[in-house]
Amino acid sequence: MHNHARQQIRRHSGHWQERLAAARRVGIVGVPPLEMIRFLNDRNMALLDLDAMLVKADLETASQLIPRVYCAILRTVVVNALHLDLDAIVVDVGPGKCDAAFHVAAILEESLEIPVIRAENRDNDNFGTPIARGRMPLLEKLLRITEGVKRVSPDPEPPLACEPTAGFWGVPPRDFSILELFPDTTHVYGWSRCMENKTPAAHELEAHVNTTVPTVFFAQSFCAKTALARYLAARHPRALYLDVDVHTTGSAKAKIEAFLELSGVAR
Amino acid sequence: MILGDFGTSYCKFLDTEHPGAEPEIVATKALTADLHVDLATGHNGKRFASRYVNELIALARGGEALIGEDSFLLLDCGSRDIKFVHYENGILKDMGWNAECGASMGFTIELLERYYDLDFRTLAVPTQTFSVTCGVLGMSHIFDAVISGIPVAEAVARFVKGIAINAYRFARSPKKIYLSGGLCDNPLFVASLPCEVIPLGRFVLLEGLTRSTVREGEDGGET
């Protein structure tokens, strides 16, 4: 831990630049505004995506701060925040994330001895979505998209574009193993596409679907976006609505496998 | 070729080398570790087979083979779970598999019949029902009802009706259900479903496996 740096940071309660100026390792939650990412990149700060599984600690350790029955991604955020050696955390609490993140940010701010900066990302410059629409294993696509949050530029080597044979709509799941079941020609929709486009609050883009391809509408249990997932799935002619919590169960995987095969989607 | 549908309580086997032969039913607890089949389905099947077809696919293929319609809803009520496939104009419209919240319904019904020494063929569909979403949790309704003076047979019948209505709602409340699974043989359960019901019996998944082998042959062995 960088005690000196931490003390310096805590002394600042002013503008976010001042509060982050001495940080070296910064956790990010959701998609912070590009202005912040640029600031952190320019100072060569290490960015850690707290939405991803970064530590092996039991998810139950989050229960000391937030309910056990809660969004598994935000529980993961809390576990990461408790176990990683961080100098600061930046949380998007605007329309590009969710109310739950707002409350988690407040709880972390009270509980940790590091600055927790609440930002509202309303960026609306479109960076494009070539990964979402390219040919590549779906798991790798989501990894690239989530990694892209740490950069201010588009992916330097996006995959070649392809016609979609299937769709995956939703947020990046906590358990990426679900993504292994899809063909490489699966297009990504929903908030994951918004992430790549660097417009997490673009609700119109989030609600965009392709009605010509069988689409799995993925819902992370207890996430507010489950309502949108179910709503869109009900109106899509070839949809599977799937609600998954911490881990993907065997029956959830079997549903995807059956849905794709019975819809005539070749792997 | 030996096909096997490995259920939680019962396994069903078919030898395709003997056309017209009836499938064999074996209690799952009687299986031996050295058993091996060529193609399997069912949650317990991977351990015993060279190749495996997941249950929803087997159910859908079985429905395609047995139901001569482009649009149908096929609901399978097993010992452990409930699942359905819904086709419209030959295209998969909807599907569902409830292995957790709808758990152990068939298992619990059979257990209750034995425990209370009931015969479901003689029980009438009750006018009232319990709100049941899970076999295990639903049993507490029975015990509470019996304590309050309701006859055991009536209480169990309400439970069975509750399970049937839960399964019906899980399948999105259709007008007509093609029913698969061991509960096809339970007249109380079948009559408790609040829609037209056409029981197809407990070998629909085996039929699906048979159809899968035919499709493999047509596709040159590719699955």
Q: DSSP states of chain B as a string?
A: -EEEEE-SSEEEEEETTSTTPPPEEEEGGG--TT--EEEEESTT-GGGEEEE--HHHHHHHHHHHH---SSEEEEEE-SS-EEEEEEETTEEEEEEEESSTTTTHHHHHHHHHHHTT--GGGPPPPS-----S-HHHHHHHHHHHHHTT--HHHHHHHHHHHHHHHHHHHTT--SEEEEESGGGG-HHHHHHSSSEEEEEES-HHHHHHHHHHHHHHHTTT--
Please answer yes or no on whether A238 and B91 come within 8 Å at the CB atom. yes
Q: Which of A214, A238, A262 sits opposite B60 (nearest CB)?
A: A262
Whether A251 sits inside 8 A of B92 (CB atoms) is: no
- In the numeric block, which tokens belong to residue A118? 């609440």
List Cβ neighbours of B170 (8 Å cut-off, separation of 6 or more).
B82, B84, B96, B98, B102
pLDDT in tens, A58-117: 999 999 999 999 999 999 999 999 999 999 999 999 898 888 999 999 999 999 999 999
Taking the Cβ of residue B43 and every Cβ of chain A, the question of whether any pair is shorter than 8 Å is answered with yes
pLDDT tens-digit readout, A247-256 = 888 888 999 9
Predicted ipTM > 0.90: no
pLDDT at B193 > cutoff 90: yes
Please check whether residue B65 touches A, CB under 8 A: no
Q: What is the pLDDT of residue A90?
A: 96
Sheet hosting strand B10-15, strand order edge to edge: B24-27, B10-15, B2-6, B37-41, B49-52
Cα–Cα distance measured from residue B112 to residue B133, given in angstroms and rounded to the nearest whole number: 16
CA distance B78 to B40: 16
| Residue predicted with more confidence, B111 or A141 | A141
- The one-letter amino acid at B84: F
SS (H, E, C) A6-36: HHHHHHCCCCHHHHHCCCCEEEEECCCCHHH
Nearest CA in chain A to B58: A258
The per-residue pLDDT of chain A, averaged, comes to: 91
Q: Is the pLDDT of residue B207 over 60?
A: yes
Write down the pLDDT at residue B103: 55
In angstroms, rounded to a whole number, what is the distance separating the alpha carbons of residues B67 and B73?
10
pTM: 0.85
**B54 chain-A contacts, CB cut-off 8 A:** 254, 257-258
Best of B8, B43, B44, B91 to disrupt the A interface by mutation (most A CBs within 10 Å)? Answer: B91
CB-based contact (8 Å) between B100 and chain A? yes
Q: Residue B172: what pLDDT?
A: 93
Residue given tokens 């409350």 in the structure block = A103
Greatest alpha-carbon span in chain B: 64
Instruction: Kindly determine whether residue B55 and residue A254, on different chains, have CB atoms separated by under 8 Å.
Output: yes
B-contacting residues in A 221-250 (Cβ below 8 Å):
238, 240, 249-250
Q: How far apart are CA A256 and CA A248, in angstroms?
A: 11
Which chain B positions have a beta carbon within 8 Å of A250's beta carbon?
A: 43, 99
Judged against a pLDDT cut of 80, whether residue A223 lies above it is answered with yes
- In this predicted structure, what is the pLDDT of residue A144? 97
Nearest residue in B to A254, CA atom: B54
Of A240, A249, A250, the CB nearest to B95: A240
- Please tell me if residue A46 touches chain B, with a CB cutoff of 8 Å: no
Residue B92 CB coordination number (10 Å): 21
Strands (E), A102-214: 116-119, 166-169, 186-189
Residue B78, pLDDT > 70, answer: yes
Q: What is the DSSP letter of A2?
A: -
pLDDT digits (tens, 9 = 90+) for B127-144: 999 888 776 777 888 999
Neighbouring residues of B166: CB distance < 8 A, sequence distance ≥ 6: B102, B105, B132, B133
Q: Which pLDDT does position A45 carry in this prediction?
A: 95
Residue B201 exposed, middle or buried by CB count within 10 Å (0-12, 13-18, 19+): middle
